[in-house]
Every structure is written in C-alpha cells, then in structure tokens.
Structure 1
Amino acid sequence: MNEFEIKVDSSEEVRIDKYLTSYFKDYSRSFIKNLFSDNSILLNNKIAKPSTKVVFGDIILVSIPEKKDISIKPENIFLDVVYEDEYLAIINKPVNMIVHPTESITEGTLVNAIMYRFEKLSDLDLPFRPGIVHRLDKDTTGLIIIAKDNNIHLLLQKMFKDRRVKKTYLAIVHGRIQDSLVLNFPIGRHIKDRKKMSVRKDIGKEAVTRIFPILSNENYSLLKINIDTGRTHQIRVHLKYIHHCIVGDKIYGQKNEKVNFNSQLLHAYKLEFNHPVTGDKLTVSAEPDDTFKSAVKKLF
C-alpha cells in the first residue's frame, strides 16, 4: 500500500474529489471514486466523502494499492447477450461469475469473456476492468451494462450517478413482507469486518431501496426491488438490517438455512434508461435462472 500525505495548497475552497483528480493526473476519476468507496482517503484524520470541501492547510492522507502486473487473457466463455449495438451491450450474468479479475483470480470472469466477445471496450478504469461501468456481486445473477468506448463509459457513469438508470431486482427473502417499504439507511464499511458493509449512521453514504412484495407466506417473500442508489451490497445489507435476509446469502444471510438452493436468490431483472447516444428509451429484462424459478415453485 502506498500512502500519500498531501497538504492542500489551494487558495479557494474546492471539493476534495476534484482536488485529488487534479493532483493524481495518472489516475481516472473512477479510480479516485473507488478510493472514497473503500474509505482510503482521510481528511484531517477523518474519513472523507467526495463532496467534502477542502481549504488551504488541510491534510489529506491517501492510501493507494500498489500496482501489480496482472495478465488478463480473453476466454471463450458463453455469454447471454440480451442487447447489443455499436455503443454498448447488456449481458445476463450467471451465478458464481465475478465481474472483473483480481490479483488472485485472473480467469473465468466476465471481463475475460467480454474481451473475447467484443472487439472494442472502454479502458478508463484499472487495466483489468475494460468495459465495466457498474458491477454485480459474484452470487447475484442478471443484467450488467458493458461500454464499448470511453465516451460511452463516461456518459453511462454520469447516468448512474444522476439516477437516470432504473434498476429492478427480484429477490426471495426470509419472513413475511406484505407492504411496500422504502429503506433509507446510510451504508458504509462494517466497523469490524472491512470486507463487509453495514448500515452506518455515522459515516455511511445515502442508500435508498424500494421494496414491493409480489408473493408472501409465513416463511418467505418474493420481492420486486428498485434501488435509487448503488452502494456496495446495498440490497443485501438493507434486507439484513430489517431482519429479512436474502435466501442463500452466504455473507449477510441466516447461518442455518432450512433450504439449500446453492445460490443467492437475488436477480438483476430489468434495466430502463434512455440510450446515451440516440436518446431512445431502452427497457431490457432477463428472466431469472432455473434455480430461482425452482425456488419460487418450492417456497410458494
């Protein structure tokens, strides 16, 4: 880990994310944004948010992971491409596939597959994330958008930031939920386990999840879920917080499941947005996999 201590020399008040983007010219805005998400930026010894203003004399401490050479090779892995044009593609990601390689996992990822499938991909972020605009957890199935060039990547990122992409999920959870709910609880890194997220009313970022029950009984509920924000593990953390864990969630779920589907029952079902180039309304959906469908039949 490389640590940089920076003394702000700006004579005017400025947002810390803009200041750091200007300071670290070799890193993209997306890379700096990820550092904030990982709580890797401190301002005067306190965790900083991107919108925090800095003034002359402030001390910023930035922790940046050391760059390691990672060789990523295209792989001929089947992809369920549900939409494609010259600018972008939308993939229905299967369960147990991570989106991008890591230092320890360099094969079998969505990135390996799209590098083989598409001739052009954006390359704004780290070298092992070509085309990746947003992410899905390894155990979450469903729709993910791929950018084919850097301009589209930036346009899509801004659309997500401005909440102009409507994301709809399907989930099966423990317990009965009969009424629609709006969960508005800030989310941040878990206070003890840095690999997990949790509701954090002290340093958490805004997170809004909207829940609409489709089916329910004494033990389980099938939900349609919309998220206004896109925090890491947002749906899973919010559902755990209200004591309705997702069935099969190995991190935030129940320790002793009465049923075992060998899968987390969360599916990114639908994406709705205006095309960043043509302006046409796009509505793309993908049915859940056979495991999810069999769970619905068995539990309801």
Structure 2
Amino acid sequence: MEITITLPADHSATTIQELLEKEWLVPRKVRHFLRTRKNVWVNAQLAPFHSEIRGGDTITLHFEKEDYSHQEIILGNAKKIQVLYEDEQLVIVNKPAGLKTHPNDVKETGTLLNDLAAYLASKKQKPYVVHRLDQETSGAILFAKNPFILPILSQLIEQKKIYRRYQAVVWGKLTKDLTITKKIGRDRHNRRKQVIDERNGKTAITHVSIAKSLPTQTQIYCVLSTGRTHQIRVHLESLGHPIVGDPLYQSRPAKRMMLHAIELHLTHPFTQERILVRAAPGLW
C-alpha cells in the first residue's frame, strides 16, 4: 500500500517524525518500519525522519502487507451503495434503515460493510469502520478506505470534531428547544438496552431543536456532544417522548424507527478541505 499526500500550502513547518507521530497518529511499530526500510519520500526524494517539511510538500509513504492487519469481508451487493462523498482516503455513504452497519463475525453477510466492500473491491480498496449507526437508524455514515487514516478519523470522532446532525420524530408535543444531560448506563435486566443512570452512568449530552409540531408527534433535530450507545433514543424516551417506531424503547407500531443522520461535516485531516454532506431527503 502506498499513500501520497500533498500538504496544504499553509501547513506549518515540521519534521517527518513529528508529522507521522503527532499529526497522522502512525503507530510506533509502523513508524519504525517506515524508518528502517527507508519507505518515506518527500517530493519524490528519499528523506530521513529528521527532515523538515513545509506546506506544499508531497509526502509518499510505502507500507508492507504486514504493517497493517485486515479482516476479510464477504462481498455483498455493490449496487446497493449510495455514495454521498468519496476521495482516495475516505467514503461517506447513505445507510438504509433496517441494515446493520457491520457483521458480528467473518461469516455474516447482508450488512452495509459487506456491500461497501463489494463497491470498493473494483478499486482494489477496502472499507474500515470509523463509527456506527444502529440497525434501525438511517443516514450518513463515514468509513476509512485504508488503515492509515483510520486512527485519525477515530480520534476526530472522539474529539467531537466530526459534526453529525440527526432528524427524529417523537411521540407527543415538545414545546421548546432543550439540552438533555442525563447520564446513561447499561440496563442490568436487558443487555440490549440502555437506561438513565445518574449514579453510575456515563455523561451524555443531547441538544434538541424543534423543526415542526404535528397533532400527536414532533419533528426534531438532535446534535450530540457525546456518543453513548442509543443516546438519542434513551434521552428522548426519558422525557416521555420516545422516537416513533423505536423497537426497544416504545411499543406503538410504525413502518420504521424515525431516526436519520441527516448531516455529517468534517475537515479532511490531510487536505484541510471542509466536507459537508447531507443525506437527503431524510424523514421530511
């Protein structure tokens, strides 16, 4: 695998060592191999790790197969993939409701990751999971296309530098915008569920804004400041306004769970390009 990246013109001067370790988060073992095998070039010239690099320089890294591991994925149906954004490093797709993000074991099929693997196979690329959406949730979801960028994107998720906005429809009438700060933990009686647990739960923050009031429901937008399992679903149910169609946290029948990741924004970690994706048409 070979990765070639041209630094943005305004990139600060640094060394190859600092760039790989602190900015691109290359694991120590992989950095060692890059150095000892002399697999780093700057502007097509072999470069030692102490070399200074500046904005506009082109960095090329060559990796051996053993540098990164990859779990084989059974190929699904490439035609099912709806691409919202794609470049050499990452891809954002529109996940349908009712489809699992990834298989739980190597023999499982019928997930989004299987279909994406088939889509990328023709380009001799492979998908890597950055984050997940619940099976019942639809919308924009981000995948890495190589293991090199994966830890960088994962860190951006952890640091809340990837903005995600959700649409939801809840039962009942919400009357004002609000922020929910109730802590969330695992339900001791049902491993599939999460519950409000102010004593032992983890911090969870959900920002809710009203889009439209309906006779028996409310259309809302949600933005997360934390990323707990089922966070939006549990927080809204705790207010007495569960998401319409939620199979775990309410019992009234509906065609689907009305939760959709409508927007995903991030700054590309290599090009500094601002990527703005909308998974239209969404729920309304």
Normalising by structure 2, we get a TM-score of 0.70
Aligned structure 1 segments of 4 or more residues deviating by more than 2 angstroms? none
* Aligned partner (choices 265, 274, 278) of residue 272 of structure 1: 265
Indicate the structure (1 or 2) with the bigger Cα radius of gyration. 2
* Aligned partner (choices 226, 232, 246) of residue 243 of structure 2: 246
> Is residue 71–residue 106 contact of structure 1 (8 Å, CA) maintained in 2?
no
Instruction: Show the counterpart of 2:125.
Output: 120
Instruction: Show the counterpart of 1:256.
Output: 252
> Is residue 74–residue 107 contact of structure 2 (8 Å, CA) maintained in 1?
no
Distance 1:211 1:105 in 2: 39
1:172 aligned partner, one-letter code: V
Q: How does 1:1-300 map to 2 (within 5 A)?
A: 72-77=73-78, 78-103=80-105, 106-118=108-120, 119-121=124-126, 130-253=127-250, 255-257=251-253, 260=254, 262-288=255-281, 292-293=283-284
- Aligned residue pairs total 211
Distance 2:204 2:245 in 1: 23
> Quick one: higher RCO (CA 8 Å, sep 6+), 1 or 2?
2
1:40-64 superposed Cα distances (whole Å, 9 cap, x missing partner): xxxxxxxxxxxxxxxxxxxxxxxxx
Q: Specify the SS of the correspondent of 2:129.
A: coil
Normalising by structure 1, we get a TM-score of 0.67
1:56-91 superposed Cα distances (whole Å, 9 cap, x missing partner): xxxxxxxxxxxxxx9741112410001000000000
Distance 1:212 1:181 in 2: 7
Distance 2:99 2:229 in 1: 17
Q: Specify the SS of the correspondent of 2:148.
A: helix
Q: What is the CA distance between 1:178 and its match in structure 2?
A: 2.1
Distance 1:89 1:104 in 2: 22
1:164-203 superposed Cα distances (whole Å, 9 cap, x missing partner): 1111000000011121110011111112111111111122
2:252 aligned partner, one-letter code: N
1:80-109 superposed Cα distances (whole Å, 9 cap, x missing partner): 001000000000001111011124971110
Distance 2:276 2:85 in 1: 10
Unaligned 5+ segments in structure 1 are 1-24, 26-69, 122-129, 294-300
Change (3 A) 1:72 1:280: closer
**Percentage identity across paired residues of the two chains:** 35
Q: What is the CA distance between 1:218 and its match in structure 2?
A: 4.0
Q: Specify the SS of the correspondent of 1:155.
A: helix
2:89 aligned partner, one-letter code: Y
Distance 1:76 1:166 in 2: 29
> Is residue 74–residue 106 contact of structure 2 (8 Å, CA) maintained in 1?
no
